[in-house]
Amino acid sequence: MTEALDLDLVRRIVRAALEEDGAFQDVTTLTTVPADQRGIGAFLAKDTGVLAGMPLVVAAFEAVDAGISVRPKLRDGAPLEYGSVIAEVEGPLAPILSGERVALNMLQRLSGTASLTRRLVDAVEGLNSRIVDTRKTTPGLRVLERYAVRVGGGHNHRFNLADGVLIKDNHLAAGRARGLSLGDVIRSARQGASHTMRIEVEVESFEEAREAVDAGADIILLDNMDPPEMARCVEMIAGRALTEASGGVTIDNVRAIAESGVDIISSGSLTHSARALDISLEIETLRG
């Protein structure tokens, strides 16, 4: 079951997006749509994929006018086909129009992330690799994009820099400049971090992977290796640490990566390159 969003946080994010868009000073709508005019419409999928973001749609219309009713027809995680009716909205027309863009932006972007995640998850079905995201997220929207990854069947990596130790190439370069080996850097991290934290280290070769596991790393990140080299590392590590593949993951190569035996496959593309799903709000009827 997908971990639910913090609704108070959702409301704050949505409110900021509405203010950014000038939704409460929508001069076009204020000067062309009477306050007593009402409308009814439907969110329609014009694409295939996975739905994510309905709590934000509800929060957006709730923020612009409490008199707007949103009636979801599908829940987050539902498959979408062209023409799927996602939700109906009814109430005062002016605030519906003022909140429309923010609601759609959130729904389209999160559904795009959920849809891409589902494609990767489906591509490795039957294998043991877990698809996870990275910190390559839209600033301020990380919690939402990570939620969309979970809706799509994926998992989350560390939330932020305080969440876990991940020694990357620049950390290792800083250590080497001080005369430290890769193993020395791992041991330094182990000594300085809480005993409850795992130590992960990024490696670029079989030799570095061997040094990392011998130094006691908990997770070995195999960076930009080809599947045969990953498989060689996995065999050598032999369960002494978790293995994570990262770098250049695509729908075309993800199954070959998973077949190498890695435990985790991380992909920044889930959040930084997912194509927004095509969803529209069609106003079906208007009445005074």
**Is 202 tagged catalytic?**
yes
Give the separation between CA 150 and CA 1, rounded to whole angstroms: 9
Q: Establish whether 101 is a catalytic residue.
A: yes
CB 283 within 8 A of CB 34: no
The active-site residue, picked from 223, 229, 259, 278, is: 223
Q: Which listed residue (90, 100, 200, 202) is catalytic?
A: 202
Task: Tell me if 256 sits within 8 A of 120, measured CB to CB.
Answer: no
Among residues 84, 137, 60, 145, the alpha carbon closest in space to that of 111 is found at: 145
- CB distance 48 to 38 below 8 Å: no
Which member of 15, 38, 101, 187 is catalytic? 101
Q: Choosing from 46, 168, 176, 275, which is the catalytic residue?
A: 168
Which of 11, 15, 130, 136 is catalytic? The answer is: 136
**DSSP per-residue string spanning 97-131:** HHHHHHHHHHHHHHHHHHHHHHHHHHHTTTSSPEE
Taking a C-beta distance cutoff of 8 angstroms, is the pair 148, 186 a contact? Answer: no
Based on the residue annotation, tell me whether 168 is a catalytic residue of this protein: yes
Phi/psi of residue 76, nearest 5 degrees:
-55, 135
- 218 flagged as catalytic: no
Residue 147 CA neighbour count, 13 Å, CB half: 23
* Pairing of the two strands 38-45 and 85-92: antiparallel
Rounded to an integer, what distance in angstroms lies between the CA atom of residue 13 and that of residue 18?
9
CA distances from 29 to 12, 37, 272 (A): 24, 11, 33
Q: Which residues are catalytic?
A: 101, 136, 168, 202, 223
